[in-house]
Amino acid sequence: MGAHPIGTARKDGMTGMPEPADKAAAEAAEWSVLLMDDPDDRDLRRRFEAWRRQSAHNAVAWSEMQRTANLAEEVLPDYADEWRPLVTAKARRRWLVPMAALAVAAVIGWVAAPMALLRLQADHVTDTAEIRTIGLEDGSTLVLAPDSAVAVAYLPGERRVRLLRGEAFFAVKPDKERPFKVTARTVETSVLGTRFDVRLDDTGVGVAVEEGRVRVIDSRGAGEVLSAGDVVQVAATGEIVRTALEPNLVAMWRQRQVYLLNRPLAEAVDAIRRYYRGKIVVTDAALEEQLTTGVFDMTDPEAALRGLAQAHGATVRRISPWLLVVFGS
């Protein structure tokens, strides 16, 4: 093997030298490629261990690189044969090493297969940071949040929208002959005429009403009638929690702002992910469980993430142009 890998990190404007954390991250990417290329090279392993022990920056950068590699194996097992060749013997050539490392990161960030399947099911889909207003055939309006998808089915006896992913706000035109129903997993929201928001994520389904009344029914048949300012959270476990907020705070994402009241930090990060064209990783599970309250400006999602992290004593580090890592205190 050749000499110690040379980082391609961002340089400090005053000194012209790479910042330590960025330099370590770039070198960790190169070490990952070299070790994958020749895992049995003892001399290479010895030099790598010396580099890893050289500084705390190196140790942290390597830990995060391993986390990223594990994520790739977990998220893309069916595509391993496509991204592994990027880091084969050809990658020993100096100019290919950073490119191979960035390619692996890019594959993690953009998983094409699930999105392709989603687009087959959906009538309307939004990309990262995209907000779209859709006029429905009955005169109702649907506003689709970033990274979201819906399927629309209008029948003689009812109007039905299925939220497949993300979040949507509905302004429904009254029609007593055809109730308007929104389903998200096993939760159904039915109305005659109103303005309300439905959100679908890993924790469950949330419904918030800006104007009018809606009825929310879960898979067990349990129902909640909501009026303006009412919010209900139906957890994936079936637990139902009812809260309230000012009606003007409902679906603030329409103005590229996200409002959260005593919600887990993980939920805030998920909201930011809809606006950030890359990958965000939180390394501390306990940090993700901390409750947070605030209004987050999504016109600059990275700044929003850094503000959120700072409020909880955490830090954000840019590992690559497409990867932000949040470290706990």
Chosen CATH of 123-251 out of 3.40.50.300, 1.10.10.10, 3.40.220.10, 2.60.120.1440? 2.60.120.1440
What is the arithmetic mean of pLDDT over 166-174? 97
Higher pLDDT, 215 or 114: 215
Binning pLDDT at 50, 70 and 90, where does residue 89 land? very low
Mean pLDDT (the chain) is 81
Whether 16 has a pLDDT exceeding 70, the answer reads no
Whether 73 has a pLDDT exceeding 70, the answer reads no
Whether 179 has a pLDDT exceeding 50, the answer reads yes
> Are the beta carbons of 235 and 241 closer than 8 angstroms?
yes
Domain spanning 256-329: which CATH class is it, in words? alpha beta
Whether 14 has a pLDDT exceeding 60, the answer reads no
In this structure, of 74-88, 248-262, 265-279, 282-296, the range with the lowest mean pLDDT score is: 74-88
pLDDT tens per residue across span 219-264: 887 788 999 999 999 998 888 999 999 999 999 999 999 999 888 9
Global confidence as pTM = 0.67
Domain assignments of the chain as residue spans, ordered by start: 20-109, 123-251, 256-329
Angstrom distance (rounded) from CA 164 to CA 155: 19
CA dist 81 to 69, 86, 103, 301, Å?
14, 10, 14, 33
pLDDT tens per residue across span 95-109: 344 444 444 444 444
Percent of the chain with pLDDT over 90: 52
